[in-house]
Amino acid sequence: MPEPVLRLYLLGQLNKEQKSRTLIIFGEYKSLRGLSRVTLTDDSLKTLLDSIASLRGYVEGGFPPIDRNTLAKLGEQLFDVLITERTKELFLLATGEVRGKRQFLPLEIVAEDFEIAGWPWEYMYNSASPGFISQDFHPVSRSIFSMTSRSPLRQKRGPVHVLIILGVPPDDKYTTPTEEIKVIEAVFKTYLGREFAIHVLPAADYQKLQNGISHHEIDIVHYFGHAQFDYERREGFLSIARPESEPFRLYAEVFSNLLVNSHVRLVFLNACKTAQASPADNPARSSIAASLLDRGIPAVIGTQFSLPDVSAHSLASTVYIGLLTGRSIGEAVRVGRNAMWFQDKYQFYDWGIPVLYSTNPAQVLFTPRGEQLGWAKAYTSASAEGGQSLLEMLADVSTPGAPSIVVESTRPADTKSRVTVALIDIDAKVGFLPDMANLANRSQNYFHFEVVYIPVPSGYVRTDLGEHWQTFVPRLKDVFLGLPENLKVDYVCGLTQHMIAGESGGDKFSNHFAALVSDNVTNVFVISTYDLRRYSLEAGESFTRAVFGLCLAMLVFSDPRWKIDFHEETAGCLFDYCENRDDIIIGLKKKSFDHKKCRDKIKDPALLAAIDAFYTLDFSTDDRDHIDVAG
């Protein structure tokens, strides 16, 4: 489930000719809607605009001087414009909900008025719960009114291709482009191993930009270099250095057109003012970042002011780490903002310089390798609850590749026509059990065996019930009896390396080869592999056949239709009780199920065919598990 987003639409124009103007704020969170109106008088608007101008002046040239408190006051003004009356209720309600779940609540802001759209919303400050909301639970992002249709992002498969466009030569005296490449490469190498490719487009080759984007299936376009906003043309541009010539200006519109219909899912503009827009124009035309969003790029990271060179590297590396570890784009930018704190010559406003334009701040652009988002969240949630919830979640094998207690290779798509048996290796440590199951599955059409590994309760091994250690099956009852339902199987067969002890009809028993876990439930049992390797070796048979022989005996015994019970007589039959445990060798030596008394009780030819198939099965592949008798 994607994170919920609180979307705030600011409707109305900032008509400066009037003495006051009313703006409408429409808030949307899940299925909830809230509408507020806010009136900006001449005085309140002037105060707000002066504060914004002062912030810009201070960031760009240190004048007029402001401090953190001044910034907080501006942030409070911005907060009060947007979060008021019903939208405030919505904000509080949504915040309460996500904080309870330890989630983030991204705020997406869309403004109709071009000037309002350019206000520094990232600095919103909540005085009721003192703090800049972008820094804690509410990564602020921006969006635009756009008619461009966007299909939902599909999960990225295969290597991630990054195109780094350098706006400055590698040996630039005043910036550090090689450092930027090094930092990005290190992050991708750490998190993707070899599953990425970085293509660098040097400033000198800027004419090849279109080819660079088209040739490879580029996922990320990363720009590092100078940029500026052209106040005359009212459009932002990337400034690409040219030897012996004025820099080439790659304007917002031209640049965004290069990326139309591309596979690019993120554009990172690590340069100054790349998200600045003209107050008189649609950001979709004037701002580089918004223009890219309008052309269908799902996420664009830009900057609203000048960006210090040193902060640029830490911002890029932290954002990419966030993205490659499966964080949403909004959260990755939030983490990137906070990482800027640790830079040399850090200024109190630095964290608010980056701006995220996105179609959805909660979207995850890159799922971590070896993990799939769909199940990852369910897994995390079940892990938190633990116990039965976790077991149920892990028993679900509907998502290929998801973590499961069921060995995937032993779970075919369709088992409807077969009797399904879950083989649970409690502690028998049969390493090739999945291979055995697959072989057994191929040899007949009656049963289907799947291998399952589950956590078992401690204390099931008893040392006080016989000469040897015993697996005391009543101890397994609580976990095992629910398994047929959880695993959606007909039978559950546990394998233990110890002999089996238990209680039946009030009597205790021990040293058994097999036993039901409970007298009342006939489809859950445990079989013992104790001494089975030695017995099978002595009988000249495979260990696998010995294991499946026991399992098969319990399966038929558990089926009430046949009314078969284990007999005292040792007849080399599947159902020999084997009071003397060594008698099992006689049964193992048998090459067919020919004990007429028992065979005649089974009326189902398919089941008989399956039993016969087991007898003829070549289990020679389990040579790996042979023991050296002499040793």
Residues that bind another protein (CB under 8 A): 53-54, 56-65, 173-175, 224-228, 230-232, 239, 246-247, 270-273, 306-310, 312, 345, 347
Shortest distance, CB of residue 73 to another protein, whole angstroms? 17
Count of CA atoms in the C-beta half-sphere (13 A) of 88: 13
Tell me which H or E stretch contains 495: strand 491-496
Distance CA 593, CA 608 (A): 9
Q: Closest separation between CB of residue 263 and another protein, Å?
A: 27
Q: Which of 301, 326, 331 is nearest to 316 (CA)?
A: 301
Task: For the CB of residue 186, give the shortest distance to another protein in the complex, in Å.
Answer: 20
| Nearest distance in Å: CB 242, another protein | 13
CA 184 to chain centroid, in Å, comes to 22
Among candidates 294, 292, 302, 357, which has minimal Cα distance to 330?
357
Written as six digits, the tokens of 219 are 């996922």
Between 50 and 569, CB nearer to another protein: 50
Pick between residue 221 and residue 610 the one whose CB is nearest to another protein.
221
Given a contact cutoff of 8 angstroms between Cβ atoms, the answer to whether 472 and 503 are in contact is no
Compare residues 4 and 247 and give the one whose CB is closer to another protein: 247
CB of 344 to another protein, least distance (A): 9
CB of 225 to another protein, least distance (A): 7
Rg of the chain in Å (alpha carbons): 34
Query: Do the Cβ atoms of 472 and 502 come closer than 8 Å?
Result: yes
- Nearer Cβ to another protein (231/507): 231
Whether 241 and 225 have beta carbons less than 8 Å apart is answered as yes
Which of residues 25 and 59 has its CB atom nearest to another protein in the complex? 59
CB-based burial, 304-333: b 16+ in 10 Å, e otherwise: bbbbbbebbbbbbbbbbbbbbebbbbbbbb
Q: How far is the CB of 25 from another protein (least distance, A)?
A: 26
- Least separation in angstroms between CB 290 and another protein: 19
Question: Nearer Cβ to another protein, position 61 or 560?
Answer: 61
H/E stretch holding 72 reads: helix 68-82
* 133 vs 272, beta carbon nearer another protein: 272
Phi/psi zone of residue 62: left (φ > 0), alpha (ψ -120 to 50 degrees), beta? left
Cis peptide before 64 (omega within 30 of 0): yes
Q: Least separation, in Å, of the C-beta of 389 and another protein?
A: 50
Nearer CB in complex with another protein: 172/392: 172
Q: Enter the tokens of residue 457.
A: 């309760």
Ramachandran quadrant class, 158 (left: phi over 0; alpha: psi -120 to 50; beta: rest):
left
CA distance 470 to 512: 9
For another protein, the closer CB: 53 or 260: 53
Structure tokens at 214: 């088209």
We find the least distance from the C-beta atom of residue 269 to another protein, in angstroms, to be 10
CA distances 353 to 340, 348, 455, Å, are 10, 11, 50
Question: Least CB distance from residue 215 to another protein, whole Å?
Answer: 27
Query: 167 or 296: whose CB is closer to another protein?
Result: 167
Output 4 or 167, the one with its CB closest to another protein: 167
**Paired tokens of 483:** 């398994």
What CA–CA distance (Å, rounded) separates 274 from 235?
10
Q: Which residues contact 494 (CB under 8 A, 6 or more apart)?
A: 424, 425, 426, 476, 480, 517, 524, 525, 526, 527
